[in-house]
Amino acid sequence: MRGEAVVANQRLMALAIFALADHIEGSSGYRFVPSTFAQLPSPAAVGSLACVSDSTVNIWGSVIAGGGGFTVLAFYDGSNWTVR
């Protein structure tokens, strides 16, 4: 009976892995919910990513400030949110 239980568990694991693979294959990427600069967490964890909807800059590597008209992908480098 123990061997049958092991085989049954292995089958369940295989089915779960196949279902996950199908889900990943059908995905179209990750979507960030835009937020204003003022809504970003402070302090943020180094390496955090966010979508900022009111950046004053849109040049890669520039330090982000709020109140502008650009929507950008932001990266927190440990001291500033920068455009990515």
- Kindly list the distances between the CA atom of residue 32 and the CA atoms of 2, 59, 61, 81, in Å, as whole numbers in the listed order: 46, 19, 19, 16
Q: How many domains does the chain have?
A: 2
Q: Could you list the residue range(s) of the whole structural domain that residue 42 is in? A: 37-83
If asked whether residues 45 and 67 sit together in one domain, one would say yes
Percentage of the residues of the chain whose pLDDT score is greater than 90: 60
Q: Are 40 and 49 in contact (CB under 8 A)?
A: no
Determine if the pTM surpasses 0.75: no
Asked if pLDDT for residue 20 goes beyond 70, the answer is yes
If asked whether residues 50 and 73 sit together in one domain, one would say yes
